[in-house]
Amino acid sequence: MERKKFIQLSLSASALWLLRPFISAADNLKLAEVNVAYYRKGAPEYELLRKGFNKRINNYPLVVAQCFNTNGVAEAVKLARKNNWPVTIKSGGHCMEGFSIGKDGMTIDLSSMNEVKSLGDQKMATGPACKLSELYAFLLPKGLIIPGGSCAGVAVSGLALGGGYGLMSRKYGLTCDSLEGVTMVDGQGKVIDSNEDPELLWACKGGNNGNFGVVTQLRFRTHKAPATMKSYKFRSFNVNTDRAKNILQTWFNLSKTLPNDCFSAFVQNHKTTYILLTQTAAVNNAGVQQFIAGMKKLADKSTSSQKQPLQEALKNYYGRTYPMFFKNASAGLYKDYNQISSFVGDVLDLVLQTPGMIYQVNTLGGMIQQQSFENGSAFPHRGFSYFSELQTYWEHPKQASRLTTQFEMIQRVVKNAGVFEQYRNYPDINFDNPMTSYYGKNLKRLQAVKEAFDPDHIFRHPQSI
């Protein structure tokens, strides 16, 4: 904390100088506090803060406001209003299309607001930029958890505000289903608490990815964490389209009977088919046993881990924490295999032709589909039991064109098949009618929330409400 204060104090003077063409002497005096620091292009801090996790995307906002607390966010929003700047909001910077960092206007950077604290009675509060690895390191030694994702560097704010799913979601619901309150700065620069407005909490549970305010604190109820996790992996090598399609159909059929303490994924990575099963229950039930036996019959190689303490087991799925070149997007939500049987062979065929391309389907269902969770949140897709994603990664910029061209070919196959519903936390700039795809039946209600908290539409990006 002492280091953080020193950095804030040392940055404020240079930050104010960089903004001098835009603010008055009176504003300078007010903003000399350490609630917020401002940077323009040319400052080394600007170059650091304007970058996100995806190296494919390079956006250059006019101003980056690094906020250190809620008051700093309110000051920044008021300054943006004064200058008629659009505002984007960056917590972890993991948005797949870079919507958290603007091409103009002001980007509000929340990376310093990553505190996490207990509130008693198995409740907790986090800053918007608290990363999942930090969150788990805080909760798991206490025997507690919230159903977050698995990527270590993802911040809890963007995850929860768009829904949030992971290895524990079938057991506890989406991340947003454990959200009990938020503090938010609205489009007027006013600080709002959801305790005063239940509609705000509803909207922030799946519908506030930079849409109508800057969330500066999230309050969650936690759950008793499972003691251990065990994983099973089934791999098939150098597959052709027919074999991959057969494995996928079998996986769909067997995953239907998995208990809620299991998560599973089908992953087609170029010519390798990979099935993952994780389990937190102490004993395999009949559904798990049937799944393992069925997958073993089809796989070239099957392995299983020993039961590990949950905190150690989750680290196996943390992934990279440094920026990289990639393009990822939702590839549709499904109810069952029948919904995709007519076109998934074409998808798999294109993936098999393209080194570096991944098509993945994950299990949803379980507690995600609980009626009370649906009634209490803006997340609209609970009737679907599976979520798919398309991914591609590269090391050198010259590889981007070929891979993104193939990526878009697969997207056209999915689109032409009539798959319309998409998960907002995995956005893509190419989606037709993205608002309806992301928010479905809840769009009009969310638009009303937008008008209530941001009538001047100061918070905006290419796919904002």
Cα 426 from Cα 56, distance rounded (Å)? 15
Helical residues (DSSP H) of 162-275, grouped into ranges = 169-172, 198-204, 241-255
Cα 140 from Cα 120, distance rounded (Å)? 15
Neighbours of 262 (CB within 10 A): 24
The sign one gets for the Cα dihedral 130, 133, 137, 140 is positive
**Encoded tokens for 70:** 């809620």
Domain range 228-432, CATH class: alpha beta
Locate the DSSP E strands across 290-435: 301-304, 308-309, 325-334, 357-363, 386-394
Cα 294 from Cα 254, distance rounded (Å)? 7
Ramachandran class of 356: left when φ > 0, alpha when ψ lies in -120 to 50, beta otherwise: left
pLDDT one-digit tens code per residue, 309-353: 999 999 999 999 899 999 999 999 999 999 999 999 999 999 999
Domain boundaries, the chain: 2-109, 116-225+441-453, 228-432
Cα angle value 20/26/32 (rounded, 5°)? 70
The dihedral formed by the CA atoms of 5, 148, 423 and 323, expressed in degrees to the nearest 10: 50
Under CATH, which number does the domain 2-109 receive? 3.30.43.10
Give the per-residue pLDDT at 282. 86
Give the per-residue pLDDT at 34. 84
Give the per-residue pLDDT at 30. 44
β-partners of residue 192 are 184
- DSSP letter for 299, please: -
Cα angle value 273/279/280 (rounded, 5°)? 160
Q: Given this chain, do its domains 116-225+441-453 and 228-432 carry the same CATH topology?
A: no
Q: Please give the distance of CA 413 from its chain centroid, rounded to a whole number.
A: 25
Q: pLDDT tens digits for the chain (465 residues)? A: 343 443 443 343 334 434 434 443 334 434 445 899 999 999 999 999 999 999 999 999 999 999 999 999 999 999 999 999 999 999 999 999 999 999 999 999 999 999 999 999 999 999 999 999 999 999 999 999 999 999 999 999 999 999 999 999 999 999 999 999 999 999 999 999 999 999 999 999 999 999 999 999 999 999 999 999 999 999 999 999 999 999 999 999 999 999 999 999 999 999 999 999 999 998 889 999 999 999 999 999 999 999 999 999 999 999 998 999 999 999 999 999 999 999 999 999 999 999 999 999 999 999 999 999 999 999 999 999 999 999 999 999 999 999 999 999 999 999 999 999 999 999 999 999 999 999 999 999 999 999 999 999 999 999 999
Which of 168, 170, 164, 166 minimizes the C-alpha distance to 366?
A: 170
The sign one gets for the Cα dihedral 152, 288, 351, 348 is negative
Cα 149 from Cα 155, distance rounded (Å)? 10
Give the per-residue pLDDT at 33. 55
Q: Is 303 helix (H, G, I), strand (E, B) or coil?
A: strand
Cα 249 from Cα 336, distance rounded (Å)? 9
Q: Decide if 407 contacts 327 (C-beta within 8 A).
A: yes
pTM higher than 0.85, yes or no? yes
Helical residues (DSSP H) of 213-359, grouped into ranges = 241-255, 286-298, 310-315, 344-352
Cα 142 from Cα 160, distance rounded (Å)? 21
Under CATH, which number does the domain 116-225+441-453 receive? 3.30.465.10
Cα 47 from Cα 343, distance rounded (Å)? 43
Cα angle value 455/373/442 (rounded, 5°)? 35
